[in-house]
Amino acid sequence: MGIENSSSNKVFGGWHKQYTHRSDVLGCDMRFAIFLPRQAGTGNRVPVMYWLSGLTCTDENFMQKAAAFRTASELGIAIVAPDTSPRGDHVPDDPDEAYDFGKGAGFYVNATQDPWARNYRMYDYITKELPALVRDHFPISDDTVISGHSMGGHGALMMALRNPGMFKSVTAFAPIANPINCPWGQKALGNYLGTDKSNWKAWDSSELMKLAISKDSQTPALVDQGDADGFLTEQLKPDTLFAAASQVNYPLNLRMHEGYDHSYYFITSFIQDHLRFHAWHLGIA
């Protein structure tokens, strides 16, 4: 599978690059960004953090706003940031052009309902197609961690819970922690997966965490949430995630932060903590 470089910028001794490629899984052209620290190359493979962004975002939001490169460079961690949904004129979108469904809002699930099922398979893209592509073209090791924000926080937690052992650790900022019980999640899951709500639970982090009883199924997790987040009560529901973790003694560190909102100001304030959390579980701290 080929990739095409569209931009390159040197930063903290490493490189931030954007690439486009044809996705067989999504049936469209996709773009992703990668940060390669200075330790990558010359026979040396580095671990990688996948970053999943939130509603309306692309690969650029985190890479341009999070201020993660200095610490990632010091630790020797690569970062891959995919887009949040399939793109293209032929890809179906919300008929009302709403921000919370369709393009920019793939919700990291595999859609089963028409007309979404052909293109909206972000789960398979993130867990299968994109990692294989990255390993084929870059000096990346098999040691992988995952993180995300809001809808991407939901994606990161859900993927770690559905795939024990795939990721050494998982972190999230203000994740949609219980999508089956919030307006964003109900709209997305109802359209992508159909009206049978029993099928939604397999994509809900709070529901999945209740099933993670054995230590082998528990990926260490760090979640940060601001108490001034305007979406906290209606959409995010971190208390539900905490209750699920308490039920099965899951290794979740959920931190509430006074005065912080849902923006990238929040993410830049604590991204170093997340990178060092991952580094510890990667054994490179």
Number of domains making up the chain: 1
Long-range pairs for 122-128: beta carbons < 8 A, 24 or more residues apart = 122/26, 122/84, 122/85, 122/86, 122/155, 123/159, 124/25, 125/23, 125/25, 125/26, 125/30, 125/82, 126/50, 126/52, 126/82, 126/155, 126/159, 127/159, 127/163, 127/166, 128/25
Which one is catalytic: 16, 154, 262, 281?
Answer: 262
150 in catalytic set? yes
Binning pLDDT at 50, 70 and 90, where does residue 202 land? very high
Task: Give me the mean pLDDT over the 105-113 stretch.
Answer: 98
Tell me the residue range of the domain where 148 lies.
4-282
Q: Is the pLDDT of residue 42 over 80?
A: no
pLDDT confidence of residue 41: 79
The one catalytic residue in 93, 149, 229, 274 is 229
Q: Considering 23, 73, 147, 150, which one is annotated as catalytic?
A: 150
Query: What pLDDT was estimated at residue 1?
Result: 67
User: Tens of pLDDT along 246-282?
Assistant: 999 999 999 999 999 999 999 999 999 999 999 999 9
Mean pLDDT, rounded, for 124-149: 97
- For residue range 148-158, list pLDDT tens digits in order: 999 999 999 99
Please report the pLDDT score of residue 222 as a whole number.
Answer: 98
In this prediction, residue 43 carries a pLDDT of 83
What is residue 285's predicted lDDT score, i.e. its pLDDT? 77
Supply the CATH number for residue 165's domain: 3.40.50.1820
pLDDT at residue 108, rounded to an integer? 98
Is 229 among the catalytic positions?
yes
